[in-house]
Amino acid sequence: MPVVLGDTERDADRFRFTLADDVVVVETAQKLDTYLDAHPDEDLVVVGPDVSMAVATEVSETYRLRRPFLGVVLLRRRMEVSTMSEAIRAGIREVVLADDVESLVGACKRSMAVSEQLRNVEAGDSGDQRGKIIVVFSSKGGCGKTTVSTNLAAALSIEGDGASVCLVDFDLETGDIAIALQLDPSKTISDALGMQGGLDERALASLVVPYKAHLDCLLAPTKPADAEFVSAALAGEILRVLSSMYDYVVVDAPPAFTDVILKTFDMADSYILLTTLDMPALKNLKVTLDTLDNLGFPRTKWNVVLNRGGSRVGLTAADVERTVGVPISVEVPSSVEVPARLNEGVTVVEANPRHAVAKAFFELAAKQRKSTGSSKVSAPAKPAKKSLFKRS
Ligand SMILES: Nc1ncnc2c1ncn2[C@@H]1O[C@H](COP(=O)(O)OP(=O)(O)OP(=O)(O)O)[C@@H](O)[C@H]1O
Ligand SMILES: [Mg+2]
């Protein structure tokens, strides 16, 4: 049952109608304090539109440390960029327009889901385990990194137990996951700048953009100039926190060994190394493998994936294996289905799961699940608690 801060009893009826009959409304931060002390199970505070930003951020910052599983959803009458960034810095999970009932219900649901995840971690449900980090890489542009990372992430989130997945766009200057999945880039990695050293689950939960059930995305900056401010240390912190929140963290990369990508390789459990059937891509794969060897990144984590296989261009899969001396793990066929779905903003695995391209991605996901294991527990669905949201 969420508690609402700062609205009059008259407005409270609106919240009761929208959220739940037993919503509690408190008018001041002190009363909220008293209420929360008496209700240690409370997981959600909705801050009303007339509460000042100063009070809203103070509430969030106070409870961020004291009660990390408590989520704060903020209602505002106007959506301003400064409000968003202030809110994100304070660890507020979502900001919603005061009259957007649907978004409020959605934000509250997502916040409750994050709280439950955090409580599980605290209770040791997922113990000391962490989710697996998978990096998708090729040092040549256009080999299909974004295609593979988006489809692999979707396949992991669909298959079997429906693991929770976060897709991270570390192609910081030219990342296009937001475009590929038609997501609103109002929250991106840029919002994490300045949080280095203090990133926690709450902050990251407020930065990810949900794509579909079980799959969230952390998007690349919309301003390419921000890329240079994302340090390897910040990238490492992002991956560490995300891997405590999700079963899988799938990273899309730029076509180069940047500091951020080297840090990602350092932390990753599995590397998907792409090539296509052309000499430049093959040469680059060979260079990539030599580089990984030289840097001591273990071969046990290597997974060579041939994208756009089957094209009749003179080279074959066997040529690839012979040249690089590593077996191909999965071959993804070339098909017009890939760009067609991309233009619709969906993955092939969702739109056409029986297609040969989708099957290849499901095979890749299954192999990843097997080789990396699904560490964090995808707990069986718990029986629904007392109904919180009437309009679901
Ligand atoms: N299996 C496939 N069949 C057909 N087209 C494909 C396939 N894989 C990728 N493509 C197409 O190739 C192009 C490049 O793919 P993608 O953007 O995934 O590559 P990338 O490695 O992420 O590129 P960049 O290095 O620019 O980030 C896209 O137009 C995509 O639709
Ligand atoms: Mg790309």
Residues 73 and 53 in one domain: yes
Interval 327-379: pLDDT, tens? 999 999 999 999 999 999 999 999 999 999 999 999 999 999 877 655 554 43
Average pLDDT over residues 2-20: 75
Give 149 Cα–ligand 1 centroid separation in angstroms. Answer: 11
For residue 230, being part of any structural domain is answered with yes
**The pLDDT of residue 6 is above 90:** no
State which ligand 1 atom lies nearest to the alpha carbon of 307.
1
Query: What is the predicted pLDDT for the residue at 17?
Result: 75
Query: What is the predicted pLDDT for the residue at 385?
Result: 37
Nearest Cα to Cα of residue 190 among 210, 218, 217: 218
For residue 382, being part of any structural domain is answered with no
Q: Tell which of 74, 106, 123 closes a domain.
A: 123
For residue 386, being part of any structural domain is answered with no
Ligand 1, atom 28, residue with closest C-alpha = 339
Domain count, the chain: 2
Give 137 Cα–ligand 1 centroid separation in angstroms. Answer: 12
Are 157 and 164 contacting, i.e. CB atoms less than 8 angstroms apart?
yes
For residue 181, being part of any structural domain is answered with yes
Interval 102-138: pLDDT, tens? 898 888 888 888 888 777 666 655 445 689 999 999 9
Number of Cβ within a 10 Å radius of residue 187: 21
Residues 235 and 314 in one domain: yes
Q: How far apart are CA 166 and CA 248, in angstroms?
A: 6
Ligand 1, atom 30, residue with closest C-alpha = 339
State which ligand 1 atom lies nearest to the alpha carbon of 357.
1
Give 143 Cα–ligand 1 centroid separation in angstroms. Answer: 6
Q: What is the mean pLDDT of the chain?
A: 87
- Probe residue for ligand 1, chosen from 147, 152, 276, 332 as the CB with the greatest number of ligand atoms within 8 Å: 147
pTM of the model: 0.71
State which ligand 1 atom lies nearest to the alpha carbon of 180.
17
Residues 221 and 357 in one domain: yes
Q: What is the dihedral of CA 343, 348, 351, 355, to 10 degrees?
A: 130
Interval 181-226: pLDDT, tens? 999 999 999 999 988 888 999 899 999 999 999 999 999 999 999 9
Query: What is the predicted pLDDT for the residue at 302?
Result: 95
Residues 13 and 47 in one domain: yes
* Structural domain containing residue 78: 3-123
Query: What is the predicted pLDDT for the residue at 195?
Result: 84
Residues 78 and 141 in one domain: no
Range of lowest pLDDT (8-17, 66-75, 257-266) = 8-17
Residues 6+ apart with CB under 8 A from 374: 132, 160, 161, 163, 247, 248
Q: How far apart are CA 285 and CA 123, in angstroms?
A: 44
Query: What is the predicted pLDDT for the residue at 380?
Result: 35
**The pLDDT of residue 268 is above 90:** yes
Give 264 Cα–ligand 1 centroid separation in angstroms. Answer: 21
Interval 380-392: pLDDT, tens? 333 333 333 443 3
Interval 276-334: pLDDT, tens? 999 999 999 999 999 999 888 999 999 999 999 876 777 888 999 999 999 999 999 99
Query: What is the predicted pLDDT for the residue at 379?
Result: 39
Residues 72 and 116 in one domain: yes
* Percent of the chain at pLDDT exceeding 90: 62
Are 214 and 164 contacting, i.e. CB atoms less than 8 angstroms apart?
yes
Q: Which ligand is nearest to the CA of 275?
A: 1
The binding-site residues of ligand 1, defined as CB within 6 angstroms of any ligand atom, are 138, 141-147, 171, 255, 307-308, 332, 334-335, 338-339, 342, 357
Residues 101 and 18 in one domain: yes
Query: What is the predicted pLDDT for the residue at 372?
Result: 61
Nearest Cα to Cα of residue 3 among 63, 71, 55: 71
Query: What is the predicted pLDDT for the residue at 161?
Result: 63
Give 217 Cα–ligand 2 centroid separation in angstroms. Answer: 14
Query: What is the predicted pLDDT for the residue at 72?
Result: 94
Residues 172 and 278 in one domain: yes
State the pLDDT confidence band at 164, using cuts at 50, 70 and 90: very high
Residue 273's SS3 state is: strand
Ligand 1, atom 10, residue with closest C-alpha = 144
